[in-house]
Chains A and B, each alone.
Chain A
Amino acid sequence: MSVSETASMSETDRPEDRVGEVLLDVRDLKITFSTRHGEINAVNGVSFDVRRGEIVAIVGESGCGKSATALSLLRLIPDPPGRITGGEILFEGNDLRRMSTKDIERVRGNRIAMVFQEPMTSLNPVHTIGRQVGEPLRVHRGASVEEAFHKAAELLGFVNISEPEVRMRNYPHQFSGGMRQRVTIAMGMGCKPDLIIADEPTTALDVTIQAQVLELLRQQVDDNHSALLIITHNLGVVAQYADRVNVMYAGRIVESAQAYELYSDPRHPYTVGLLQSVPRLDQPPTARLAEIDGLPPDPSNLPVGCAFHPRCPRAIDRCRVQMPTLEAVSPTHKRACWVDDHG
């Protein structure tokens, strides 16, 4: 068996013909963690979709459930302590939740690839880089050791690692953080996945490297007509690269819009607060940073009603008793808030 280039399930259609169609459709996802302090509903009914050719972002503070969401898509949350307790994860029509273990193993690294946030610890320290990058090809394409080797060198070249054949034989600890992250991307690219899920891909990196990594990811989407779901708390990244954005708070999506819409016309007080707290170059250097009052809520002890109301400057009585639902303010813009707010 030789390394085959075609990866899609339907081999008759070409990816470029299917740009715009829904790849991933997450409906009402619920995730619960059993901990010593009780059951925690980390994700409380999250719905979003990702279409071919686009970059979708999920934004939020630490603890809002965005990483849990990302990991659950490929069922990578260990059970115990975490379980998906509700919803559907439809990938090209098939529910990833209900798939057999064998089937989901066939999706992982092959149709959907994940890039993790800690390049330091995400790579196996006792295997060479070459072996790890070539592994998805050996698993999913039946590539031989040599074929995988050559392909891996090629992939490393794509992510701008110099002298790939030499560096293939190195070990992760011999690479810098930025290079390791690029290696992780190369690892994900091997089987030409339709969707890449990147969980905080730039958090552990320097600003200059961040840009390189994100450019690489964007290039992937453009070249292969695939899609990227990026999880981050970095609004600058979102502004520059995302097509659509979902804002998460306390396990729910509170606002969802096209990127430019979100930035120019945020409609949820939390989003407004987030955007205001980003330091801007046109502010005087001594100006105080605006901040959102209070602290992120404890997932095991969420407030009644809207989870954001204790910190919200626009909260009304209804916010304290009733959870707002996601409603559309335009065909591409949804928000979950009782207050009619314009940024």
Chain B
Amino acid sequence: MARYISIRLLHATMIVMILAVLVFVIARLIPGDSILAAMAGSVDMSNPAVVEKVRAEYGLNDPIYIQFLQWLSKFVRGDWGVSIGTGEQVRDMFLRRLPVTLELFLFATIWSVAIGVPAGLISALRRQSKLDFVLMTGTILGVSIPSFWEAIVLIYLLAIALPIFPPSGYVPFLENPQQNIVAMILPSFVLGTHSAGLLARYVRSSVIEVIGQDFIRTARAKGLSERSVVLLHALKPALIPVVTVFGLSWGSMLAGAFFIEIIFAIPGLGRMSVDAIFQKDFPVIQATLIAVSLNILLVNLAVDLLYGILDPRVRIG
């Protein structure tokens, strides 16, 4: 177990270093005049002294590797820069919007598991039947339909044609819990259905593989009913590897969140990022890229560790 963890941590560290370089390069690809143009709103661009000061402030005069190290050291210490568009501390923007996105993700994950696991399980147990075929085709559909279209269709059906849910908008939880949850249902559902498809497929193949194992036959030979065999003996070994799928689908969920937040007008990190991209607000873009990639890295790491804990073969030498 210790070895398992340490290898993973080592890999993670290497990846983080590569990531830092990547993000920096991407952000710096933004041509300087675009940055200046973006700042034209808040700063007097006609005065060359001001322009010089701003350039110095953003470190645009130093050689590139100095810029990288400066940026890195500031970032690590929590100074994520100031947004070009709003002039706000980027870190503060982040913290303000993080809980919103987190809530969206939490609900989406609940949807995903609630739909995906039973679907995969039933498919596996009723292998090669019509139901299996329908469910598995459904998963392909889930992956093929763009999330933004699914959102649009559902908004029309359930918010405009039949005004059950609000078509957009967000109410903070502390203000009005009920409205908050109702507003979250549709967006999180759309987000969840995509990963539900992937999850269902993995659950299905995992369960099928486990059911074919010898120890399942042993369980039957002990006189357990088929239901007990599945629930007590097959489920746990089958679901343990599925945990790693979360790592895989987390990335696509993050991407999906961008669209969902825009379409449903939810003031989360996704929306903030897209706005920043349009405005070429590169401190925010940088911070977003780091946040996204680190997040995915950490989730994958956590998932690997979780797997290690759950599977006794890994946990105990």
Q: Name the one of B224, B236, B237 contacting A139, with C-beta atoms under 8 angstroms.
A: B224
Cβ < 8 Å to B, chain A residues 113-131:
113-114, 116, 118, 121-127
Chain A: interface residue count, which band? 20 to 34
Tell me whether B214 and A122 are in contact (CB under 8 A).
yes
**A48 located at the interface, meaning its Cβ lies under 8 Å from any Cβ of chain B in the complex:** no
Cβ < 8 Å to B, chain A residues 232-280:
none
CB-CB under 8 A for A113 and B213, given A124-B233, A126-B240: no
- Please report the C-alpha to C-alpha distance between residue A171 and residue B217 in the assembled complex, in whole angstroms: 18
A324 shortest CB reach to chain B, Å: 34
Tell me whether B221 and A114 are in contact (CB under 8 A).
yes
- Please report the C-alpha to C-alpha distance between residue A202 and residue B223 in the assembled complex, in whole angstroms: 23
- Please report the C-alpha to C-alpha distance between residue A218 and residue B120 in the assembled complex, in whole angstroms: 45
Tell me whether B221 and A121 are in contact (CB under 8 A).
no
Tell me whether A121 and B224 are in contact (CB under 8 A).
no
* Majority SS at the chain B contact face: helix
Task: Closest A residue to B226 by CB, please name it.
Answer: A101
B128 shortest CB reach to chain A, Å: 10
Tell me whether A105 and B225 are in contact (CB under 8 A).
yes
Tell me whether B221 and A74 are in contact (CB under 8 A).
yes
> Inside 8 A of A139's CB, which chain B residues have their CB?
222-224, 228
- Interface window among B55-63, B65-73, B142-150, B309-317: B309-317
Tell me whether A76 and B223 are in contact (CB under 8 A).
no
Q: Name the one of A116, A122, A174, A184 contacting B316, with C-beta atoms under 8 angstroms.
A: A174
- Please report the C-alpha to C-alpha distance between residue A105 and residue B214 in the assembled complex, in whole angstroms: 18
**B222, B224, B316: most-surrounded residue (chain A CB, <10 A):** B222
> Inside 8 A of B223's CB, which chain A residues have their CB?
105-110, 136, 139-140
Chain B: interface residue count, which band? 20 to 34
Q: Name the one of A110, A122, A173 contacting B215, with C-beta atoms under 8 angstroms.
A: A122
Tell me whether A116 and B311 are in contact (CB under 8 A).
no
Q: Name the one of A101, A113, A126, A171 contacting B221, with C-beta atoms under 8 angstroms.
A: A113
- Please report the C-alpha to C-alpha distance between residue A108 and residue B225 in the assembled complex, in whole angstroms: 10
Interface residues as binary, B185-220 with A (CB distance below 8 Å gives 1, 0 otherwise): 000000000000000000000000000011101111
> Inside 8 A of B311's CB, which chain A residues have their CB?
125-126
**A187 located at the interface, meaning its Cβ lies under 8 Å from any Cβ of chain B in the complex:** yes
**A200 located at the interface, meaning its Cβ lies under 8 Å from any Cβ of chain B in the complex:** no
- Please report the C-alpha to C-alpha distance between residue A122 and residue B225 in the assembled complex, in whole angstroms: 18
**A194 located at the interface, meaning its Cβ lies under 8 Å from any Cβ of chain B in the complex:** no
Apart from the given pairs A105-B224, A109-B221, A184-B218, 5 other A-B contacts in the complex at a CB distance below 8 Å: A108-B222, A116-B214, A125-B313, A139-B223, A139-B228
Residues of A within 8 A of B (CB): 74, 76, 101-102, 105-110, 113-114, 116, 118, 121-127, 135-136, 139-140, 171, 173-174, 184, 187
26 sampled A-B residue pairs with Cβ under 8 A? A105-B223, A105-B224, A106-B223, A108-B221, A110-B223, A113-B221, A113-B222, A114-B218, A116-B217, A116-B218, A116-B221, A118-B214, A121-B213, A121-B214, A122-B218, A123-B215, A124-B219, A124-B237, A125-B311, A126-B237, A126-B240, A127-B233, A135-B219, A135-B222, A174-B317, A187-B222
Residues of B within 8 A of A (CB): 213-215, 217-226, 228, 233, 236-237, 240, 311-313, 316-317
Which 5 A-B pairs have CB atoms at the shortest separation, nearest pair first?
A109-B222, A109-B223, A108-B223, A121-B214, A114-B221
